[in-house]
Chain A
Amino acid sequence: MSSSTETSRPVGAAARGEGGIACYVYGIVPEDVDISPDAVGVGDPPGRVRLIRHGEIGALVSDVAVDRPLGRAEDLVGHEALLDGAAAEVPVLPLRFGAVLTSPEAVVGELLEPHHDEFVAALKEIEGHVQYVIRATYGERSVLHEILADNAEVRRLRDQIRGLPEDATRGERIRIGELITQAIAAKREADTQTVVDCFAPCTVAAVIRDATHERDAANVAFMVRLDQEADFEMVLGELRREWADRIDVRVLGPMAVYDFVTSA
């Protein structure tokens, strides 16, 4: 389940699509899906999304102009909105943002055909599942109070800088900050484990994401079976009650199973 560190970003000397138009690929779905005419994705104006079929699978694609950079906020949101909307209805293998092939033929010849059986198997596996992400964040005041209460060194340094200008106490301040960051990291490890354990009975799999904010308490993606959603919600409620005073718990989803499809 380790993700490739390679990116799907600019591939310098690659061939250009015909007439400056290429195929942006969002994800892989079963062949028997319908796409409504108003489904759009990336680009300006947003490209109409269609399905390129091969065997039992299809690729969700839209035309994209190759002479214009991709990556406006609207492009990112468009990519995710399409996939998350689809994931609520059908199994979807979501591609990372920015995958573009030269032509519909290339989508079949280089993506769908060579990996047909793998994709069929993966789609079967994720059928009836969605992803939720739990993002928990420490309240700044509450976590600092906890750390002050626990850590004599932080208290001592805090007393040292009291009333003194920042310039005169830079060393102590950096040390305080470092100690706090370390203390939060230790708390994060424990609280992330709590999140994983809490939701384990009502989820199929979990992926712990890297912290992306200094006050992150937990950032965990879960694969959830549709019939587990009620239990998931109940556990979420319990966790929020338990952590009400110290940690804010947000939930993202339902979304496509982004964290569970990286190539093996």
Chain B
Amino acid sequence: MTVTVPSGGGGLPDRPSGSGLADVIDTILDKGLVIDAFVRVSLVGIEVLTIDARVVVASVDTYLRFAEAVNRLDLEQSKEGLPELIGDVTQGVAHNKSKGVAQGVIEAAGEKLHDYIAGTVEEPEPERRVRRRSGG
């Protein structure tokens, strides 16, 4: 059968995502058909080691990091004119997504995982191992 491969030009990846493990986790731990929505009887109780690696978007740590980044930005920068005019900032739209005390632990775990990712994972070549029968 004909295989459609994205045309060249550097836009789309020319093979299935060579993405990092963090991206893989976002996808396959959070998305996809959930089997226990269908089946409850004979799922095996295998321990699944994965963690919820979702990074908390707003936390005190994040706030302090941003503050320091702004502080540094200011030092690095000469008096590159900050506009006098104040734009209409739509702060009202934002909402705080703070998720409580566990977040530090989760973030730490996430970081650890990222370290792990950086080192050890070998991406298997995503070759075409599942295909329509010839003639199909």
Residues of A at under 8 Å CB distance from B? 3-4, 6-17, 22, 25, 27-30, 32-36, 38-40, 49, 60, 64, 66, 68-74, 76-90, 92-103, 106, 110-111, 114-115, 132-133, 135, 140-141, 144-145, 148-152, 154-155, 158, 161-162, 166, 170, 172-186, 189, 209-214, 216, 221, 226, 229-230, 232-234, 236-237, 251-256, 258-259, 261-263
Contacts and interface: CB of A to CB of B under 8 A. Distances in A.
A189 B93 CA distance: 8
A202 to B, nearest CB: 12
A251 B12 contact: yes
B79 interface: no
Q: DSSP class of B's interface residues: helix, strand, loop or mixed?
A: loop
B130 A73 contact: no
Contacts of B31: 3, 94, 96, 221, 258-259, 262
Most A C-beta atoms less than 10 A away, residue of B12, B21, B62, B116: B12
Interface of B: 1, 3-4, 6-7, 9, 11-13, 16-17, 19, 21, 23-50, 54-55, 57-58, 60, 62-71, 73-74, 82-83, 86-87, 89-91, 93-97, 113, 116-117, 120-124, 126-134, 136
B87 A110 contact: no
B136 to A, nearest CB: 5
A96 B130 contact: no
Contacts of A132: 12
Contact of A155 (B12, B25, B82, B126): B82
Given A69-B48, A181-B63, A216 B12 contact: no
A148 B71 CA distance: 11
Contacts of A209: 26
A86 to B, nearest CB: 4
Contacts of A236: 11-12
Given A8-B43, A177-B62, A76 B25 contact: yes
6 contacts: A8-B36, A69-B48, A89-B128, A110-B38, A149-B87, A229-B12
